[in-house]
C-alpha cells in the first residue's frame, strides 16, 4: 500500500509537491517524512548513486526515480509490489513533466506545485488495490522490469552524507578551536608582559610624580 508521496528538486532538495492526505493513518508519519527530507538533502549534494533506487526503512520501503533534476519518491509497505510502486512513480513523473516542465527550475518556494496533490491522490487510488485487473496486468507486463533496481538500507544511504557532514563539522570545529587558542595565547603573552614590566613602570611613574611635585613646591 502506498503510504507517502513526495516530489523534490534534486539540485537543492526543495520540496515541490506531496500527497496532502498521506500518512494520516500512521502515528510516525512525521519521522518518515524527515527521513525523506534527509534523502532529498543527500541527493542535492550529489550522493545519488542511481536514478532509480529502493531504500528500506523499518516496516516500509522508499522507492524513488530521478528524471529531469526532479526526484519522485513514494513510501510503501514492504509487501507492496516493487513493480507497481515504480509504475506509480512513472505516472506521476509523466504528468508532472507535462504540467510543470518549464517552471521547475524557477520555483522559489517550497511546495510551489501543491495543486499536483489532486493528481497524486487520484493516481494513488488506482494503485492501492494490487488485485484489480488493471494492476495485475501491470504486474504481468514483462516489458517493465525492476529486478536491476538496487535496494539499500536507509542508515547506509543517509550515513554517507552524515559522515561527510561530520568531517566538515570537525574541520570547522578545529579551525574555530585553533583561532580561539591563538587568541588565548596572545592574551597570555600580553598578561606576562604586563606582569614583567608593571613594577618597573610603577616605580618610574612614582619617580616622575615626585620629581614633578618637588619642582612645583620649589
Cβ–Cβ under 8 Å, residues 72 and 7 = yes
pLDDT digits (tens, 9 = 90+) for 152-163: 888 887 875 444
pLDDT in tens, 23-48: 677 778 888 888 998 889 888 887 66
What tens digit of pLDDT does each residue of 170-187 get? Answer: 445 544 544 554 465 566
Distance between CA atoms of 198 and 194, rounded to whole angstroms? Answer: 5
Segment 91-135, tens digit of pLDDT:
999 999 999 999 999 999 999 999 999 999 999 999 988 888 888
Question: Contacts by 96-104 with C-beta closer than 8 Å and gap 24+?
Answer: 96/7, 96/17, 96/70, 96/72, 97/67, 97/68, 97/70, 100/16, 101/68, 104/9, 104/16, 104/68, 104/69, 104/70
What's the CA dihedral at 139, 39, 12, 63 to 10 degrees?
Answer: 0
Chain center to CA of 181: 33
**pTM for this prediction:** 0.69
Looking up cell 506545485, which residue turns up?
113
> Hey, what's the cell of 121?
491522490
Amino acid at each position: 500500500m502506498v503510504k507517502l508521496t513526495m516530489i523534490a528538486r534534486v539540485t537543492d532538495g526543495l520540496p515541490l509537491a506531496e500527497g496532502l492526505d498521506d500518512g494520516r493513518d500512521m502515528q510516525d508519519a512525521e519521522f518518515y517524512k524527515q527521513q525523506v527530507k534527509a534523502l532529498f538533502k543527500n541527493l542535492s549534494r550529489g550522493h545519488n548513486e542511481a536514478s532509480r533506487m529502493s531504500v528500506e526503512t523499518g516496516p516500509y520501503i522508499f522507492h524513488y526515480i530521478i528524471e529531469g533534476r526532479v526526484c519522485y519518491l513514494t513510501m510503501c509497505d514492504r509487501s507492496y509490489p516493487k513493480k507497481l510502486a515504480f509504475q506509480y512513480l512513472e505516472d506521476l513523473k509523466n504528468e508532472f513533466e507535462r504540467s510543470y516542465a518549464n517552471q521547475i527550475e524557477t520555483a522559489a518556494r517550497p511546495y510551489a506545485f501543491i495543486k499536483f496533490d489532486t493528481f497524486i491522490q487520484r493516481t494513488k487510488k488506482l494503485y492501492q488495490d494490487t488485485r484489480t485487473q488493471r494492476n495485475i496486468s501491470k504486474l504481468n507486463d514483462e516489458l517493465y522490469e525492476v529486478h536491476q533496481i538496487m535496494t539499500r538500507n536507509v542508515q547506509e544511504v543517509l550515513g554517507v552524507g552524515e559522515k561527510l557532514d561530520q568531517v566538515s563539522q570537525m574541520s570547522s570545529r578545529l579551525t574555530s578551536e585553533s583561532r580561539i587558542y591563538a587568541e588565548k595565547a596572545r592574551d597570555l603573552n600580553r598578561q606576562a608582559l604586563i606582569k614583567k614590566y608593571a613594577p618597573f613602570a610603577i616605580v618610574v611613574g612614582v619617580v616622575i610624580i615626585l620629581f614633578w611635585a618637588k619642582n612645583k613646591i620649589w
